[in-house]
Structure 1
Amino acid sequence: MAGYPPDALVVVPPFAHRREGDEVTIGHVDRNVYLSIPAEGLDILNALADGRTVGEAATLYREKYDETPDLDDFLAALASEGFVSLSTMDSDTVDSDTVEPTAVAPALPGTAEEPKPAPRRQWSFDWIPPHVARRFCGPVVLTVAALLTAGGVTLLTRDPGLTPGPEVFLFEGGHFALLTWLTIICTIVATAVHELAHAIAARAAGVSASLGMGNLLYTMVAQTDISGIMMAPKRRRYLAYLFGSIVDAASASILVGVLYAGRHGIIDVHPILAALLHAVFYTYVLRITFQLFFYLRTDLYYVIANMLNTKNLMADTEAFLRNVVARVFRQRHRLVDQSGIPRRERRAVRGYAVVYCLGRFFSLSVLVFFYIPILWGYLEQVVLLVTGQDSRFTSLDFFTIGVIVLAIDGGGIFLWIRGLYRARKRRRSGHAWSGSIVVPPTEPATTAQRVAA
């Protein structure tokens, strides 16, 4: 062993782990770094953590599995992500060209989690005790949410007129500015509740959760970091990913019930309130359909990745699709080597590539059939207003549209461009890597939701 002599001692800082099949996911939750290793690799880590030398750990492995492990590559990969480091008494005797002795080394571009930009302001939900969180996402709450959703779907089936269309955001009955601002306020509150639901489900599993602002491409989103959920049982992971949409569906169903009762004379709903409820309901519909944008890391994406037991489904799928394009245009030099991905995961990647493309097509359909009609309606009224013709918009309405576009869409574009700039700077200052990957990384989980429709 040129890299790690048999008598070398290795420091193994405390780590969390989760066994699943023939693999184990290990993680440093405080650093949001997770790796998948063969199950037998956990025996090596435990032996080293107990104070065994590298040679003793190799001997124990050989006695148990009847084969000699290649600990140099294994430990080098772990060291590069900060899971092991050499004991100070042995660091001078190890070949520095073979092993990185630092506990936190630069991440490997295109493999593990790359260096992140300076963290944005985040609000922690760790003040919520797990036993309290479990009451808010337990069987009773889930049953009530399911009944509400089923009732809402039933009412929509009986009266399709409850969903008029994107023209609800034009507020043709008047009071455009007032109703638009109220809709935005309601949407922000609903988005906060959606992300709070993710946080509650994560806290129910004993996992830290924090809320921040970010972007998916040019869309401004609220993001809840629940990366520690990687260490939770699979059932808890599903609930953490889905609980936000479950709350959205139940909340939207309550609005459907009120609108249905108003349309059928069961209760008296003022026209202005009805217009507001229609608009807010549509924002819920948009938030739920947003989960079908499978080319983004939406909540539903994490559910699928969890079901398929893949480590980095999005990055592998995008690399696969780039390879398809490169082969079509005979650009062999652009091919990405994916031979290191296990065969089972390669099949999952090929299947998800179809879903990925469908998500792109669906998002384009939403743009064409929803956003463009709204923008066209706004533009038409603005042109009428500017040219002095009869328009439903007032100067305040025009100002409202300008502020919304600048604050929400402009903010998303700004964050997107800033992210691209910082990523380019990191690539320029990053370290080149030409070696093979021994330990595949696992992507952390961050749920995201549009700030406004």
Structure 2
Amino acid sequence: MIWSEHGSLVILGQTALAWVVVLFHELAHLATARAAGVPGTISLSTRLQFLVAHTDVSGIWLAPLRVRVTVYLAGMAQDAAICGAALVLIFFHGPHPLLSVLVLTGFGCLVAQFLLFMRTDLYFLLQDLTGCRNLYGDSAAYLRYLITMRKRPDPLARLPGRERVSVRGYAVLLVVGTGACLAFAVMVTLPIAISLVSRAVHTLVTGSGLVSFLDATLVLGLVAAVELMWVTAWWRRHGHRVRTFLSGRSHPATHHRQSRAGA
């Protein structure tokens, strides 16, 4: 992964390759949905500490199961195709740092889809196969009901028996997965980011030549840009809840089906 002594080149190269993979992933969702006559839009959002892109193809719920599954898994198939193509090039032409990064990036995208406690592609497949309308939302409402010592109506009371079982099971996965993911962010991701920023700041303060100065400046700029994108996407998604909470009004629950496939 570290293919250059200049951190800015490593970050810039990996970021560019990652977003290329993500773009093709989302285009796969969009193309398969539109082939079935369903419109879709690609946008940025957040899932826990991650900045992600997703494709809103909510109309796919009206399509047959085979079509829905195709749309859900199209992005993963695209990631696998990119990994396969890069591996073939490595096999015939020898190893290359950027090809290795491309393989790891595509493989990382595939693995990330198994984080079912977030609304990944496989989450939407699971939601569909279990017949739940909003597996994530109902599970979150059930957890809030348990946390408040059951001082509010049981949100599972309105659900069919099969959905209740799925929601209870997913609620356990939601707690364990979210806790593990946030712990990883605190113990691994955050220290790496702090170390990266502190080194760049140290380089700017001590002054180690023009190349090092430009490298450190670019590192700080890239880190700041990504964080700003995350904050903007998070506020666009959750800002109304923050304003509702601060105003003291209750936020109405929604129980519609969701279908947002993403990377």
When normalised by structure 2's length, the TM-score is 0.82
Tell me: higher relative CO, structure 1 or 2? Use CA pairs within 8 A at least 6 residues apart: 2
Asked whether the equivalents of residues 194 and 247 of structure 1 are also in contact (C-alpha less than 8 Å), the reply is yes
Q: Residues 380 and 275 of structure 1: is their aligned pair in 2 closer, same or farther, counting only changes over 3 Å?
A: farther
For 1:401-420, what aligned pairs fall within 5 Å after superposition?
A: 401-420=219-238
**How far apart are residue 374 of structure 1 and its match?**
4.1
Alignment deviations for residues 289-334 of structure 1 (CA, whole Å, 9 cap, x no partner): 33233332221110000110111111111122223333xxxx3324
Shift in CA distance, 357/246, structure 1 to aligned 2, threshold 3 Å? farther
RMSD: 3.3
**CA offsets, 1:238-285, max 9 Å, x none?**
1101110111122123323444x3xxxx5344xxxx232333333223
Which residue of 2 is the match for residue 203 of structure 1?
A: 34
Aligned to 1:297: 119
Q: Give the AA of the match of 1:400.
A: L
Residue 343 of structure 1 and its aligned partner are, at CA, apart by 1.0
State the structure with more CA Rg.
1
Amino acid in structure 2 at the alignment position of 1:302: F
Would you say how many aligned residue pairs link Structure 1 and Structure 2?
261
The percent identity for this pair of structures is 27
Compared CA separation, residues 432 and 423, structure 1 to 2 (3 A): closer
368 and 292 in structure 1: CA distance in 2 versus 1, 3 angstrom threshold: farther
Check the 8 A contact 2:79/2:110 in 1, yes or no: yes
Matches within 5 A, 1:100-139: none
1:445 aligns with 2:259: yes
Aligned counterpart in structure 1 of residue 165 of structure 2, from 331, 343, 347 = 347
Q: How does the TM-score come out when normalised to structure 1? A: 0.50
Tell me which amino acid in the other structure corresponds to 1:340.
R
Instruction: Write the distance in 1 (CA, Å) between the matches of 2:110 and 2:194.
Output: 24
- Residue 315 (structure 1) aligned to one of 137, 156, 174: 137
**Structure 2 counterpart of 1:186:** 17
C-alpha deviation, 1:369, in angstroms: 7.5
One-letter code aligned to 2:114 = L
| Amino acid corresponding to residue 238 of structure 1 in structure 2 | V
Per the alignment, do residues 387 and 441 of structure 1 end up closer, same or farther by CA in structure 2, a change over 3 Å counting?
closer
The answer to whether the Cα contact below 8 Å between 1:293 and 1:359 also exists between their aligned partners in 2 is yes
Paired position in structure 1 for 2:102: 280
359-368 vs 301-310, greater mean Cα deviation: 359-368
CA contact (8 A) 2:32 2:71 kept: yes
Q: How far apart in 1 are the matches of 2:251 and 2:14?
A: 49
SS in 1 for 2:158: coil
Q: In the superposition, relative to structure 1, how do residues 413 and 323 fare at CA in structure 2: closer, same or farther (>3 Å)?
A: same
- The runs of 5 or more residues in structure 1 that have no matched partner are 1-167, 434-439
Asked whether 1:243 is paired with 2:74, we answer yes
2:62 aligned to 206, 231, 252, which one? 231
- Where structure 2 has 5 or more consecutive residues not aligned to the other structure, the ranges are none
Q: Secondary structure at the match of 1:413?
A: helix
